[in-house]
Structure 1
Amino acid sequence: MTRGKWLALLCLAPFAVVFVVFQIAPLVWVMIHSLQSEETGWGLDNFSRIFASKFYLQAIQHSLEISFWSSLFGIVIAVLGSYSLHKVDSKLRNFVNAFANMTSNFSGVPLAFAFIILLGFNGSITIMLKQAGIIEDFNLYSKTGLIILYTYFQIPLGVLLLYPAFDALREDWRESASLLGANSWQFWRFIGLPVLTPALLGTFVILLANALGAYATVYALTTGNFNVLPIRIAAMVSGDISLDPNMASALAVILVGLMTFVTLVHQWLLKRSYHVAR
């Protein structure tokens, strides 16, 4: 091995140590403890209890439903926003991109507090909508409220991911299609959407994974009273009454499995997008 390769490996060593200590080791610990039970010892008893319990199945269902719908609404709005950015002035485009980059990191306790002020039971927007007769009742702390909240922090991330994808649509393609007699619908049906599909699906998968692992925002909003997987895991690790780290490990393995599946789909879509681009 040459001196340059040894130097490269030496520079990589600190990263490898951090990766093993903070990524691989905790994952191995969780997987080992997911197979341990205080009552039956080693086995799949924790997973059997999870899939036999309506309470845990409800947590999985709520996590998937909120993640799916918030990702779907988020990507629809992000597509419209990203496409519009390509049609506006460059100064406004740069401002919106910078704003999206900033708001994509606006989550957790500050985001929950902002939504409570705006859309809580006595929130300013909620009161105005009630006085205008548009709504009769709205519960921010329900599944519908959480979908709205999740959708908010999905939109900036979706815009940042989709905006570069629209650069693949060349203007001369539209002009050529128009000269051949194609209308706007036909252009998007046969040219635009096929080119953007890998990016759209890949972005949707990333948004789905982003929502599945969200914890701080939903905890700050509902104080841990809404039944989703991250809340259940945290309650079993830090709770005084329901302390059960082995069961929490099993739930974490299920969550990791869902996110791993999402990541594998994303990687497959990236490869497909690369082959389509070539």
Structure 2
Amino acid sequence: MNANHRGRYLALLCLLPFAVFFIVFQIAPLVWVAIASLQGEGGWGLENFSKIFTSKFYLQAIERSLQISFWSSLFGIVIATLGAYSLRQVDSRLRDFVSAFANMTSNFAGVPLAFAFIILLGFNGALTLALKEIGLLDDFSIYSSTGLIIVYTYFQIPLGVLLLYPAFDALRKDWRESAALLGASHWQFWRHIGLPVLTPALLGTFVILLANALGAYATVYALTTGNFNVLPIRIAALVAGDITLDPNLGSALAMVLVGLMTLVTMVHQWLLKRSYHAR
């Protein structure tokens, strides 16, 4: 056996633990959920999916999940892009501090985040009362779709900054200087050079933020005590609920969530191909 074959077999052997872990904890549960989603009261079939897509209640959960995920991801990536770009321009000490802070706050989600926003922006929150006192806030609820978009955007921003910050390494300083010497304005540089170079990173980050928001459960549950109609709440209620226990229907909802993410990923790949061809 030559050295090349020996190195290849050694690499496969090192990959084996990851492959076992991936199959046991990723593929097998997904297959089990897919099988369970096809089991209904009348036997095998699409009965569960028919219930979902003919029910206004579950359609509302899908719509709200997409709405909150899209807007929080959009706001998050816009703010994160500005933040990541700004970090490239500041002193290294401040940059290191903000990067460390973003790394810490990207994990600040779930119950602590919900509790923090209740204290700040709840009905009797400190910031809510202060804004009402000066007349800047009238009718606002942190427990509404708008409130959840704000909360989701908060934990999307640090994750977006961490993902986009390395992407700005692809923008070389001499490109901007060359563009300026050729008479290009700041806007023309970003339109024809900066944004096309960053497009793959922006699209990839947006998809990750979208997935992050679609699957968020602990924050919305702690904030609304499970009374807000989104897909993760409905799945949990069907799998572990005391009143509406129906794990097979919950599995079907989970497959709908998987389908939405697959669709988003396919659109992402299509947009990436278009951006590469446009160059």
TM-score range, shorter chain: over 0.9
One-letter code aligned to 1:169: L
Identity of aligned residues (%): 81
| Distance in 1, Cα, partners of 2:94 & 2:266 | 36
Contact preservation (8 Å) 1:113, 1:221? yes
Q: Find the partner of 1:164 among 163, 166, 185.
A: 166
Q: Find the partner of 1:239 among 238, 241, 248.
A: 241
Contact preservation (8 Å) 1:118, 1:124? yes
| Distance in 2, Cα, partners of 1:18 & 1:170 | 40
1:182 counterpart SS class: coil
Q: Which residue of 1 aligns with 2:22?
A: 19
Contact preservation (8 Å) 1:141, 1:221? yes
| Distance in 2, Cα, partners of 1:159 & 1:6 | 38
Q: Which residue of 2 aligns with 1:49?
A: 51
Task: Note the alpha carbon deviations across 1:16-69, whole angstroms, 9 max, x for none.
Answer: 22222211111111000100102x111011111111010000000000000000
Give the direction of change, closer, same or farther, for the CA distance of 1:99–1:48 in structure 2 (3 Å limit).
same
- Counterparts in 2 of 1:214-253, with a 5 A limit? 214-253=216-255
Q: Which runs of 5+ in 2 are unaligned?
A: none
Structure 2 residue 198 is the aligned partner of structure 1 residue 196: yes
Report the Cα offset of residue 176 of structure 1: 1.2
Task: Note the alpha carbon deviations across 1:128-177, whole angstroms, 9 max, x for none.
Answer: 10111101132000000000000000000111111111111111111111
| Distance in 1, Cα, partners of 2:202 & 2:75 | 13
Shifted more, 263-272 versus 190-199: the winner is 263-272
Q: Which residue of 2 aligns with 1:122?
A: 124
Contact preservation (8 Å) 1:233, 1:249? yes
Report the Cα offset of residue 86 of structure 1: 1.1
One-letter code aligned to 1:122: N
Contact preservation (8 Å) 1:206, 1:266? no
1:121 counterpart SS class: coil
Structure 2 residue 85 is the aligned partner of structure 1 residue 83: yes
1:86 counterpart SS class: helix
| Distance in 2, Cα, partners of 1:64 & 1:197 | 22
Task: Note the alpha carbon deviations across 1:103-141, whole angstroms, 9 max, x for none.
Answer: 111101111111111111111111110111101132000
One-letter code aligned to 2:146: T
Contact preservation (8 Å) 1:205, 1:265? no
Give the direction of change, closer, same or farther, for the CA distance of 1:7–1:144 in structure 2 (3 Å limit).
same
The size of the alignment, in residue pairs, is 275
